[in-house]
Structure 1
């Protein structure tokens, strides 16, 4: 590709290329704290933490990790919802030159054990409510220490006293037995040094993050993202949002920080802009609407399901959403009717973008205040090249012809952790082969038309059929199983399992669901079970997923 047909359609305020500082990613926090020490950095259920306080707490976390034997390049797992502790732990790891391993709090023991063994993480930072899962698998991993925090640790008075009473309604609170390997987050930080510490790094080579994704095979792989990868994507996203002002914005942090979209477009960008992060541990529509009413956020990156839930709230007309100037939808396709309705409610802009974990994650986005095209993922970001190529030959396809989307830019990963062959298959000549089928029009706007992968995206979560199928095959009554994604008006897609039972077994969807819930995070558990006598297959025995869907839906 000689020309970049999208450049003439960039907003005048956005340059085609920028300089990206080769430094420790954590210096975004250091500089914002120096410039705006008293500016609110975090707001959490009534508690406000300034930039000065956040930096001090992050320095303390870095010293804590050093005292536990963590040094440059070591992996530290963080399994927390959106709360002050996830931000403090993340920057503490970066300041020390460590590698953050962001772990989904919904994971069950099997999933936690796999990720800890694969990453070689030495320390886990998690919630008291989740600690039992981690403790059960510590012995089979490299984990040597677990640092346990609790939601009340950063709640204001009297919420910190009332929280245990409310939480007991969901069951007994865990009793934590602290030891030489199990520590209190609050106690460690209270007794730690807060001397400045920021390890020098080779930004192009040294990793800041191991973010796990299933990729094309469904086997979770650690995506190696360097300091420069994340710095570049943070700045690319920030420059695209050119109306955003330093030290003045409030970010509604409803999408989780353990998701790479939330990490870059929310956490990293807000800290770079010295914005205020309004942390939401769990998406609840009533809570979100009240937070908008009280704190008036100006930016709201999210998943389509979040915007769908808001516009369908029965009392939505009673709320003033006009503070929201810009909302960026990612993780799944954004329906046009949702976009239009949301913009009428807020008088702001809701635009769709595209990315993948392997690209830190954003590669394409529609102009926020410029000309957008509904149904497209927009234009490649600054310093990002994109092409549509033939999925077999790799030759560039003519404009308007479908093919596999490939991208190249400073945000593209270093590769997959300890998987050189899969890295070689995915990155060729600097180009990242996304596995998504797309078309590009004459103006450089791209549209995703299909997925080469079998991945399911439900409520913004990536779900990989093979992992669920392997669990189903472990059930004593299941002979064959295949999992597909089917359209869902709210979740985008939902998980559907087609099952062939062993001879003599009776269909029992409830029993299979209970089994799945013991082995999988809740969002991966199939919502629909279809029992069949056989599955359509090729001559070599491969199940024809598309044929299966066509049969169920009554035709192609």
Structure 2
């Protein structure tokens, strides 16, 4: 892959690539549903999915994908381009529905089951997804019913949660947790409901669908909305497949049997969709799922499956590092942990290293890039605090935040990306699509720099940048300094209006259990690590810091909380 005006001299990262990885390697853009069905045909007896001890073979997975695709076409009229919403936690139902929609020619619209009805209304309403696949757990099904009542979706396909469990757990659930189940047949909207298992049992054969990977959309993935209203990123079949191919090459065989990949992160999030599900399953590698992250369940999963690959977010790694129940022996099978979704604090990196000898590789991506752009080496140690190197076939540059002109090695600027994994644009939002690109380069909104060896280091988000008395203050700098204090477990810094300086940083801090710390003590500690302009105007201690639904610390909620605090005092 050549980009006009670029040569290997402009790609210093190539010289730092681990042995055996080529930047200009051929990228496979075969649609993901074709790849996974091929894997199902190759090793039908092998285990594909492990859910709380219940297993699904590749052969069974393939049969159900095809049957679901057939039902979508014959019973619901799903055709090329039809948008189908998935509101499912991690269960075997999710991959069956995901690949089934794609095989039928549809477009997957992922919906977070923990979203409010208002948030879900925006996603399904904006996408025009008349059909939704969901679960009969009361707390999730009720939201689907509300969307039906509002006319935002016309039909629901309902999966029966106990069917995902192994026999004994299914029996125990039916006895002890029956109240958690909804009763779809008694719903006032029963005529608009269909049972997932009954659709599979029909065994309908789907009609062929001709896919153009470069232009046909596979997934309409809504951005997290941490800085505004979520937008639907249009990810083509080629985008999804290209990023899988890039990650596969970067892994040097890591995502092939006998590896086992842990899916503690939710598939509806782009990171897990690609790294926890698509890449391993298309390679015939089993995926061990958790419906949500619980530390004991995760440790039990390691003990039972001996899984060796853990994609994670920093808060998950921090929880593992801090828990007394987590010992090196309980993580003995873990070879590689891949951190993404948010910046990995150095303190968390060191703390996790005391619990596991696994390689801890930090990666970086965004929804609009399907998602992975850069990653540390997965088979050997990488430069600390770096998000690694651009993946094969990926070009990056840094440009001045104000002028938009490229900056030199070591100079901070906005990270911009080109590559086959970059989205086609935002759904029906030409203005936002235009704003997302500069001269054909995807603008990430993240500030950082590249060193002389091509390693990438991020400083912060442009939108999180605090301008104090005309100087740039990066929250991450303050957060890293505060995390070095032995009493601090989590910290999140935001900028707030300041009459004298224009803006000032405010630090929200959660302390470790049993530890105490005053504002004065923390500021004294920080005084030796950051300059006076970076010093927080105020430190606010909290029992818990707000997080997004994948465990990423949320500045948006803190800004809203602080604004309410100020309004209450005025």
Which of the five TM-score ranges fits, normalised by the shorter chain?
A: 0.7 to 0.9
Residue among 16, 22, 26 paired with 1:15: 22
Residue among 267, 291, 298 paired with 1:281: 291
TM-score, length of structure 1 as denominator length: 0.81
Matches of 1:110 and 1:245 in 2, distance apart?
A: 38
Aligned equivalent of 1:253: 263
Structure 1 contact 209–226 (Cα < 8 Å) conserved: yes
Matches of 2:303 and 2:463 in 1, distance apart?
A: 41
> What SS is found at the alignment partner of 2:393?
coil
Residue among 120, 133, 137 paired with 1:112: 120
- Residues 192-238 of structure 1: per-residue CA shift (max 9 Å, x gap): 32x36652200011000011015685011000000000101111111
List aligned pairs for 1:39-54, cutoff 5 A. 39-54=46-61
List aligned pairs for 1:380-419, cutoff 5 A. 380-419=390-429
Matches of 2:509 and 2:105 in 1, distance apart?
A: 43
User: How many angstroms does 1:92 deviate by?
Assistant: 0.4
Matches of 1:327 and 1:281 in 2, distance apart?
A: 19
Aligned equivalent of 1:510: none
Aligned equivalent of 1:125: 133
List aligned pairs for 1:38-77, cutoff 5 A. 38-66=45-73, 67-77=75-85
Residue among 171, 188, 193 paired with 1:182: 193
Is the aligned partner of 1:440 residue 2:474?
A: no
Is the aligned partner of 1:6 residue 2:13?
A: yes
User: How many angstroms does 1:533 deviate by?
Assistant: 5.5
Q: Taking structure 1 as reference, are residues 277 and 396 closer, same or farther at Cα in structure 2, changes over 3 Å only?
A: same
- Residues 263-319 of structure 1: per-residue CA shift (max 9 Å, x gap): 011111111221101010010000100110111101111111111111222222274
Aligned equivalent of 2:87: 79
Aligned equivalent of 1:233: 243
Aligned equivalent of 2:312: 302
Q: Which runs of 5+ in 2 are unaligned?
A: 1-5, 466-474, 480-491, 495-504, 513-547
Structure 1 contact 355–362 (Cα < 8 Å) conserved: yes
Aligned equivalent of 2:98: 90
Structure 2 contact 27–246 (Cα < 8 Å) conserved: no
Matches of 1:229 and 1:326 in 2, distance apart?
A: 25
User: How many angstroms does 1:24 deviate by?
Assistant: 2.4
Q: Which runs of 5+ in 1 are unaligned?
A: 466-482, 491-516, 537-556
Q: Taking structure 1 as reference, are residues 428 and 488 closer, same or farther at Cα in structure 2, changes over 3 Å only?
A: farther
Matches of 2:270 and 2:157 in 1, distance apart?
A: 23
Structure 2 contact 395–419 (Cα < 8 Å) conserved: yes
Matches of 1:56 and 1:451 in 2, distance apart?
A: 44
Matches of 1:117 and 1:288 in 2, distance apart?
A: 35
Aligned equivalent of 2:544: none
> What SS is found at the alignment partner of 2:312?
coil
> What SS is found at the alignment partner of 1:92?
helix
- Residues 393-415 of structure 1: per-residue CA shift (max 9 Å, x gap): 21101211111110110000000
Residue among 19, 23, 41 paired with 1:34: 41
- Residues 478-512 of structure 1: per-residue CA shift (max 9 Å, x gap): xxxxx99846579xxxxxxxxxxxxxxxxxxxxxx
Structure 1 contact 39–247 (Cα < 8 Å) conserved: no
Matches of 1:422 and 1:308 in 2, distance apart?
A: 35
Matches of 2:509 and 2:444 in 1, distance apart?
A: 22
- Residues 74-122 of structure 1: per-residue CA shift (max 9 Å, x gap): 0000011110001110010011111000110101111111111100002
Structure 1 contact 44–278 (Cα < 8 Å) conserved: yes
Matches of 1:22 and 1:533 in 2, distance apart?
A: 52
Is the aligned partner of 1:350 residue 2:350?
A: no
Q: Taking structure 1 as reference, are residues 533 and 294 closer, same or farther at Cα in structure 2, changes over 3 Å only?
A: closer
Matches of 1:395 and 1:424 in 2, distance apart?
A: 18
Q: Taking structure 1 as reference, are residues 207 and 10 closer, same or farther at Cα in structure 2, changes over 3 Å only?
A: same
Matches of 2:121 and 2:203 in 1, distance apart?
A: 29
**CA RMSD between the two structures:** 3.0
Residue correspondences, number: 484
- Residues 363-403 of structure 1: per-residue CA shift (max 9 Å, x gap): 01111223511111111111111111012221101211111
User: How many angstroms does 1:248 deviate by?
Assistant: 2.0
